[in-house]
Structure 1
Amino acid sequence: MDSLTNRLIADIKQGDEQAFAELVDLYKDKVYQVAYRMVGHVHEAQDIAQEAFLRAYTNLDKFDTTRKFSTWLFRITTNVSIDRLRKRKPDMHLQDAVKGMEEVTYESQLAATDELPEDQVVKMELQEWIQSEINQLPIKYRTAIVLKYLEDLSLKEISEIMDMPVATVKTRIHRGREALRKRMRHL
């Protein structure tokens, strides 16, 4: 993918808008996943992904082509996510309860699948609970945990994204895991 990415970047720098659309298409799912796992809300993650791509596009001339584009893009995404988390104000989200709609839940809207509805709900609740617990971690630990365990990135890649030494990344992952373990033990 790196040679394709490098070709697309060269084309974008020459003014090819279609090349940027192709680049977005290549990375949009992973960028969204990083954003979602950082903030835990669908619409906010979509906004963050769009902003990350906009920042990448406007700063493409600063990208060092000797490095991995995905690492640079994920760094932008985590920085935008962290900025959002710092500015976050309590608000209402689609999954929140709405007066008069107590009977209608997300689970009641599930499509039929081979998996039993009860199993699907339990699995979804477990995933939501884990994501909720990750969202309670301090941002510096949350970022390291998301990139390591949910995005499955290497320590070197995380080090580049977070702009810190590998040893510091290891410490943050360890401390984040310990904090998560303590949080989950009490529940």
Structure 2
Amino acid sequence: METSDVANDLADILVTEEEIHAKLAELSRRIEADYEGREILLVGVLRGAVMVMADLARELRAHVEMDWMAVSSYGSGTKSSGVVRILKDLDSDLTGRHVLIVEDIIDSGLTLSWLLENLRSRGAASVEICALLRKPDAVKVEVPVKYIGFDIPNDFVVGYGLDYAEKYRNLRAVAVLAPHVYS
């Protein structure tokens, strides 16, 4: 979906599709250098990270394994609830593995902080984080993120996997959702 298809629902375009792909290529080169000679298990956080995970994995020039986990701290609203629930656990054993958590967005950091500790407790050799977006003004818990795409304002954003009421995930850019849509 192009931004022009839902222009009346969007207040501002923050990151274009071209900027996203350029940033994922840049992050991929760093990841390749940092993990040279080691196998990586990419752990995507459903559902928002589907687009990021797919494009990051395609950009990497090395074999990677992928697994998915679904955790939630969101209801149907626009703010994090702070309560973390596992909706789908990993199929992979993490013992001795180099794990790279792939996230769409970091806002409060509450969910990601919990997830980081949970995966570390499973015996992984290392656990790092790659996130396309971060909202520095929304952070409640500092989380060590090794690979960050873009810092964005503390607005409600959609696109590139991010949704509002399961809509806008297939928008090719990241945009601020106009308040009249969710008010």
Of structures 1 and 2, the one with the larger relative CO (CA 8 A, separation 6+) is 2
Instruction: Name the TM tier (shorter chain).
Output: under 0.3
From the two aligned structures, give the one with the greater helix fraction. 1
From the two aligned structures, give the one with the greater strand fraction. 2
Largest Rg, 1 or 2: 1
Q: TM-score, normalised by structure 1?
A: 0.23
Q: TM-score, normalised by structure 2?
A: 0.23
